[in-house]
């Protein structure tokens, strides 16, 4: 018996020792997620300090291969703590594969001095960091910028300085700023603004019930706070939602909620312009996902760079903002991208665009985005059908009522936190404040890739109302799952509303409708809290301070004079190839 216990103990100790060695861990990770094996042990120099031109000290860690020779430098700047799992894991991953990686705390976060104002100091601090790196003895004259989400924004902000030493950019799931994410619909993205503000406020304060921490631990504490005191979205006025959530106003949230107008100074200070993106001279690799809340900005960045002749690369997965699958793609793609840029012997696929087909393991490679497609139009009819035939003359409409005191909920769709991005829409379709239009089953497979557009004749009896249009895929068994959608806040010319022709570009997508499946269009006037409930009067800025709303009586017109319709981009086979490799 003792010998068995002894042997078992030896096995346990040996196994623990093996797993504690980085080569064993790296081997298992490489096999599990199909990435190249590590080549080097690494040294981490912690707490490197530099001073910006305005006197603020920024702190970084330097990950270096423990091998002879000089290596290119990868720069990542974070506001979530440089020891957080994302910058630390990615830094170690790249350093073990032949790169020096500098992971730096942004101003006012982690150990860096100064005051954190979201995205406002990243251009200047990024420029100062690049200049500092160029003076270091370990710098070999070549570097790249790297990051995902907020870190991807800082990567682009550094690259936009166009320093000759910056040879490449990798930016994943990253917005140009918060403007599109929070106010791109014309309304206020309540969920994104409040969730992010509460999480970052908890992290920056680094304390909960007497605990103090920052970085990853701070985010964990933020999760504990959320579990014990969930963020509430039933609050009116929404300007007080931060106080309800945390007991005090949050500067970040108050900046968001008071900056509804595009001319607000904060957006100028904190966003990258299209001209700045298009002007990036270093080769750029962009990555996003169909249900990523930052996807509109990422694709806009790709189009701006492509128009400027920069030949960017673009990968689009299927998930939400920063899920596990996205992390694996970034590991693989960033290593391949940096090798391609810095190693003359490395190669990449000729086609610059690669995207996943929703709900499948199929990936399509194409020369550019959008891919060649023909337009197929479906008209809305008065009996809840979609069809190719132009509707007849006469007064045809479908009515519904939107009550802001019982707002239509957000179900699925692009998301930063919370909510499954793709889900069964049965409960949403059954509500009295939604209407649906369904097409006959497809007789053959139909591949849709690009931007689905909608032209809707929309009538309301309130001064302002929201129009939400969603495309769903209905299986042969009747399950209706969301594919893509768009929401727009409409302001009418009179306090009593009117009729408006609303042209919507739904979020880009790629989906294969199988034979026997059906196309369905869902229309509503809310997606709370993805867009804060429309109270029926006042501007979006004024509604942030209002406590009451009025129900809106709404109509969707679909007659010869007002033919509401949706148009699908059906992909042509030319210029694209398909595979099942992730």
Supply angle C-alpha 89, 93, 97, rounded to 5: 165
What whole-number distance in Å separates Cα of residue 331 and Cα of residue 127? 25
Verify cis geometry, omega within 30 degrees of 0, for the bond prior to 529.
yes
DSSP string, 487-542: EEEEE-SSTT-EEEEEEEEPPPEEEEEPTT-EEEEEEES-BBTTBPPP-SSS-HHH
In order of 86, 189, 512, the CA distances from 483 in angstroms are: 29, 20, 10
Per-residue pLDDT tens over the stretch 102-136: 999 999 999 999 999 999 999 999 999 999 999 99
pLDDT-derived band at 6, boundaries 50, 70, 90: very low
Q: Note the pLDDT of residue 324.
A: 85
Count CB-CB contacts under 10 A for residue 249. Answer: 14
The whole-number pLDDT of residue 571 equals 93
pLDDT given at position 415: 82
Mean pLDDT of all residues belonging to the chain: 90
pLDDT at 549 over 70: yes
Strand ranges across the sheet with 100-105: 42-51, 57-65, 100-105, 73-78, 143-148, 166-172, 284-289, 313-317, 353-356, 363-366, 576-579
Across 144-148, 389-393, 573-577, least confident range: 573-577
Report DSSP state, residue 212.
E
14-41 tens-digit pLDDT:
444 444 555 666 666 565 566 677 788 9
Report yes or no: 530 and 350 within 8 Å, Cβ to Cβ: no
More confident residue, 222 or 561: 561
Stretch 269-284: mean pLDDT = 97
CA 445 to CA 118: how far, in whole Å? 45
Q: What is the pLDDT confidence band of residue 507, given thresholds at 50, 70 and 90? A: very high
* Paired tokens of 520: 């369905």
Residue 175, pLDDT > 70, answer: yes
pTM of the model as a whole: 0.91
Residues 504 and 548 sit within 8 Å (Cβ to Cβ): no
What does the pLDDT look like over 445-468, one tens digit per residue? 999 999 999 999 999 999 999 999
CA distances from 546 to 43, 187, 235, 269, 568 (A): 56, 14, 11, 28, 39
């Amino acid at each position: 018996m003792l010998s068995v216990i002894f042997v078992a103990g030896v096995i346990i100790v040996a196994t623990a020792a093996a797993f504690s060695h980085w080569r064993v861990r790296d081997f298992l990770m490489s096999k599990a997620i199909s990435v190249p094996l590590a080549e080097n042990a690494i040294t981490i120099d912690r707490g490197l300090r530099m001073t910006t031109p305005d006197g603020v000290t920024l702190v970084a860690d330097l990950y270096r291969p423990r091998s002879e020779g000089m290596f290119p430098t990868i720069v990542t700047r974070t506001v979530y703590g440089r020891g957080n799992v994302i910058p630390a894991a990615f830094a170690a991953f790249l350093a073990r594969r032949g790169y020096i990686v500098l992971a730096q705390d942004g101003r006012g976060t982690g150990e860096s001095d100064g005051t954190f104002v979201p995205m406002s100091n990243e251009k200047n601090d990024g420029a100062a960091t690049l200049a500092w790196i160029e003076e270091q003895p370990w710098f070999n004259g070549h570097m790249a910028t790297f990051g995902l989400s907020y870190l991807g924004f800082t990567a682009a902000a550094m690259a936009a300085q166009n320093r000759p030493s910056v040879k490449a950019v990798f930016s994943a799931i990253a917005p140009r700023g918060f403007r599109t994410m929070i106010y791109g619909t014309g309304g206020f993205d309540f969920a994104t603004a409040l969730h992010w503000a509460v999480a970052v406020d908890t992290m920056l304060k680094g304390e909960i019930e007497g605990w103090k921490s920052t970085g990853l631990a701070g985010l964990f504490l933020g999760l504990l706070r959320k579990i014990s005191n969930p963020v509430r979205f039933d609050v009116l006025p929404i300007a007080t939602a931060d106080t309800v959530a945390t007991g005090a106003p949050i500067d970040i949230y108050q900046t968001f909620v008071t900056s509804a107008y595009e001319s607000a100074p904060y957006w100028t200070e904190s966003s990258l312009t299209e001209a700045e993106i298009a002007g990036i001279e270093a080769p750029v690799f962009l990555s996003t996902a169909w249900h990523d809340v930052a996807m509109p900005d990422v694709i806009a960045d790709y189009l701006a760079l492509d128009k400027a002749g920069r030949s960017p690369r673009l990968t689009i997965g299927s998930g939400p903002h920063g899920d596990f699958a996205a992390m694996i793609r970034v590991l693989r793609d960033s290593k391949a991208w940096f090798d391609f840029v810095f190693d003359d012997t490395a190669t990449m696929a000729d086609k610059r665009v690669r995207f996943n087909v929703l709900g499948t393991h199929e990936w399509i490679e194409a020369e550019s985005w959008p891919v060649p497609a023909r337009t197929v139009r479906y008209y809305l009819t008065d009996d809840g059908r979609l069809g190719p035939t132009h509707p007849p003359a006469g007064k045809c409409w479908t009515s519904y009522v939107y009550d802001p005191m019982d707002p239509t909920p957000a179900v699925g769709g692009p998301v930063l936190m919370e909510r499954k991005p793709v889900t069964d829409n049965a409960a949403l379709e059954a509500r009295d404040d939604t209407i649906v239009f369904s097409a006959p089953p497809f007789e053959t497979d139909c591949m849709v890739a690009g931007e689905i557009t909608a032209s809707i004749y929309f009538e309301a009896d309130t001064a302002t109302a929201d129009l939400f249009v969603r495309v769903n895929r209905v299986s042969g068994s009747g399950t209706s799952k969301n594919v893509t959608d768009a929401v727009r806040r409409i302001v009418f010319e009179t306090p009593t509303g009117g009729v408006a022709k609303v042209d919507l570009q739904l979020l880009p997508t790629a989906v294969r409708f199988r034979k026997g499946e059906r196309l369905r269009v869902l229309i509503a006037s809310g997606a709370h809290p993805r867009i804060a409930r429309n109270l029926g009067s006042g501007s979006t800025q004024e509604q942030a301070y209002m406590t009451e709303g009025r129900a809106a009586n709404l109509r969707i017109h679909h007659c010869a004079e007002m033919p509401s319709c949706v148009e699908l981009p059906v992909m042509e086979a030319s210029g694209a190839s398909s595979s099942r490799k992730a």
